[in-house]
A = this chain, B = another copy of it.
Amino acid sequence: MSTAETGLAQDDQPAALAGQRRPGRPRSERADRAIMDATLSLFAESGAAGLCIEKVAARAGVGKATIYRRWPGKEDLLLDAIAWLKAPLPEPRGQSVREDLLMLLEAMCEQFADPRQAREFALLLGEGARYPRLMTRYSETVIEPRREVIRSVLRRGVATGELRADVDIDAALFMLTGSVLARSRHGDIPVEPGYARRVVDELLSGLGAR
A130 within 8 A of B: yes
Q: Is the CB of B172 within 8 A of A183?
A: no
Chain A contact residues: helix, strand, loop or mixed:
helix
A210 within 8 A of B: yes
**How many positions in chain A have a CB within 8 Å of any CB in the partner chain?**
57
Number of copies of this chain in the oligomer? 2
Select one of B125, B167, B178, B209 contacting A179, CB under 8 A.
Answer: B178
A172 to B122, CA, bound (A): 22
Among listed A21-29, A41-49, A66-74, A81-89, interface-contacting one: A41-49
Q: Is the CB of B126 within 8 A of A47?
A: yes
Residues of chain A whose beta carbon lies under 8 Å from any beta carbon of chain B: 45-47, 49-50, 115, 119, 122-130, 135, 139, 143, 154, 157, 161-164, 167-168, 170-183, 185-187, 195, 198-199, 201-210
